[in-house]
Structure 1
Amino acid sequence: MRFGPAGYPAIGSKSDPEGSLKYTRGLGLDCLEVEFVRGARISEDRARQIGKCAKDLDIRLSCHAPYFISFNSDSPETVDKSVAWVVDTAKAAHWLGAYIIVIHAASYGKHPETALPNVISGLTRCKEQLDDLGIHDVTLGVETMGKKGQFGTLKEIAGVMKEVDGVRPVLDVAHVHARGVGCLKTKKDMQDLIDEFFPLAGPTAHFHISCIKYGEKGEISHLPLSEKEPDLQMLADILNDSDMDCNFVCESPLIEKDAVVFRDMFPRYRRS
């Protein structure tokens, strides 16, 4: 199991990915999600430099694609741009040596019935372009979403997987909790979620962890783990003895501090 932050932890006034990676490793963390949420604007040379640093430190990288992606848009231009944003992120991930990109695939909008076929169509186009580029080492990770108006339940993602090779779910536990208006109340609730997720996850189960503020429509904002919405100690207790390869990316407001907090919820990983 690996634990780490969503984004480069701030260690000074200047952007210093290598310094952030070294700081992350010094905390005993060993994964990091590079946040391309405003666009994958990085050169191949720079990406390869950062990727080498991460590899040398034994930090597993993943990437988050731009928030603007919307395969269910009424605008063909937006759909075309969505394909380009995914492909650009996957190219950057390939250069970095990152194994997965995380995608917010769509909103339901006025046409929820078209969301699944449109996501399938959009990701099929992405996969075809990546195949043409010879990029076969980056998984397209579709994230479980926290708002009821967004595409992204495990059942929906499983539907995409039936039609598009190279797609896996990314389980944002807090999003599931928020979408279900606080549904992860007991250890059984959490176990049922893991039992649904693991058969879909592939060789590495990619998680986003945080706590969350929610309302009747689902997600409002991410919160520190101390808020216990949901109580992630339940997740750690369930997975402590698991032999599944898991990657836990912390998206709380305390990205690296709460990654350490979560790691230390596992007796087998807790530092003395």
Structure 2
Amino acid sequence: MARIYLGTAGIPLSSKGKSTADGIRRVRELGLNAMEVEFVRGVKMGLEKAAELKKVAEEENVRLSVHAPYFINLCSEEKDKAEASKNRILETASRAEAMGADAIAIHVAFYKKGDREKCMEIVKSSMGEIIDRAEESNIKTVKFGIETMAKETAIGTIDEVIEISKDVGKRVIPYIDWAHTFARQNANINYGEIIDRLSKELSMSHINSHFEGLAERKGKFVDVHRSIKYNTPPFEPLAKEILKREISITLICESPELENDALIMKKILENDGYRLE
């Protein structure tokens, strides 16, 4: 039987308190069991605070993950920006480790036309260095998730994230954004095929993922998030593919509707016979 962790990207909109701890408690009140802590504008949390969140999450039985800052480009032509990107990833990982989060989501790099292969090699080398530095800093358990991306100038196709994981090692994992992949593949996605690839090619024991709807511009889906109610992409087929398999997966709702859409996702799972723990 599948084991599913479902929750919000950040503090639920309905949370009366606006601290991360308040958000974790609100997630549990809503009957959800996961939350992604958002560092997208920068890592502004100390290690002590992160350790406090670990206790709250354990008390509430909420699985945590973390999103690294958007300001990361390991393939920047400016060396100081590439180095700053590595440091931001490590800062994120140290807080994630302290709070007991299982993985961090990273937008790793952008490449110029014709430079994809070179950028892939830079990303692999940089992630290897980051893992070495993490272990030297006693960051031992958190996984480094390479997120699938919608933009065609970004590293982040399914093939790319699997290749990076294979070449760098098991601490680097694909972090699947289902909607981004749907857009990147021209509004075409086979959920079951992706899940099976992760299982067979990487022997992943747990899949970290995002889900949201995307807007359409000039006949093409773009990285502008909207409610899952638009079915771009549809959630129900993903739910069915998950429930066919004995897998463990986190589904983080990144739509602007946050918990409202997460609760729709929960209802779809319940209609298919699944109950969140």
Distance 1:225 1:217 in 2: 17
Indicate the SS of the match to 1:46: helix
**Cα 1:238–1:162 shift into 2, 3 Å:** closer
- Structure-2 change in CA distance of 1:160 and 1:12 (3 Å): closer
In 2, the alpha carbon distance for the partners of 1:40 and 1:152 equals: 23
Worse-superposed segment, 13-22 or 70-79: 13-22
TM-score when normalising by structure 1: 0.92
- Please report how far the alpha carbon of residue 194 of structure 1 lies from its aligned counterpart in structure 2 after TM superposition: 2.5
3-state DSSP of counterpart to 1:264? helix
Aligned match of 2:210: 208
Indicate whether 1:182 and 2:187 are aligned.
yes
Q: Any stretches of 5+ residues in structure 2 without a counterpart?
A: none
Hey, what's the Cα distance between the residues in 2 that align with 1:60 and 1:20?
12
**AA paired with 1:114?**
K
Corresponding pairs, count: 267
Q: Does 1:112 align with 2:116?
A: yes
Q: Please, which of 238, 248, 252 is the counterpart of residue 249 of structure 1?
A: 252
Aligned with residue 156 of structure 1, among 153, 156, 160: 160
CA contact (8 A) 1:38 1:67 kept: yes
Distance (whole Å) between structure 2 residues aligned to residue 96 and residue 201 of structure 1: 25
State how far apart, in whole Å, the 1-side matches of 2:79 and 2:165 are: 23
User: For the Cα contact (< 8 Å) 1:146–1:178, is it kept in 2?
Assistant: yes
Aligned partners of 2:224 and 2:24: how far apart in 1? Answer: 26
C-alpha contact (below 8 Å) 2:15/2:23 kept by paired residues? no
User: Higher relative contact order by CA 8 Å / sep ≥ 6: 1 or 2?
Assistant: 2
Q: 1:115, 1:214 → 2: CA distance?
A: 28
Tell me which amino acid in the other structure corresponds to 1:213. A
Three-state SS of the structure 1 residue aligned to 2:152 is coil
Is residue 264–residue 270 contact of structure 1 (8 Å, CA) maintained in 2? no
Structure 2 vs 1, CA of residues 235 and 13 (structure 1 numbering), >3 Å: closer, same or farther?
A: closer
Q: Which residue number in structure 2 is paired with residue 52 of structure 1? A: 55
Is contact 1:33–1:64 with CA below 8 Å preserved after alignment?
yes
SS in 1 for 2:209: strand
2:128 to 124, 145, 153: 124
- Please report the TM-score for the alignment, with normalisation by the length of structure 2: 0.91
Following superposition, the deviation at residue 178 of structure 1 comes to: 0.8
Bigger shift: 226-235 or 240-249? 240-249
Give 2:6's aligned amino acid.
Answer: F
Q: Which moved more, 1:241-250 or 1:10-19?
A: 10-19
CA distance in structure 2 between the partners assigned to 1:43 and 1:168 by the alignment:
25
The 1:130/1:220 distance shift into structure 2, 3 A limit, reads closer
- Summarize deviations over 1:187-211 as a string: whole Å, max 9, x none: xx33223323333361111111111
State yes or no: 1:147 paired with 2:148.
Answer: no
Identity of aligned residues (%): 30
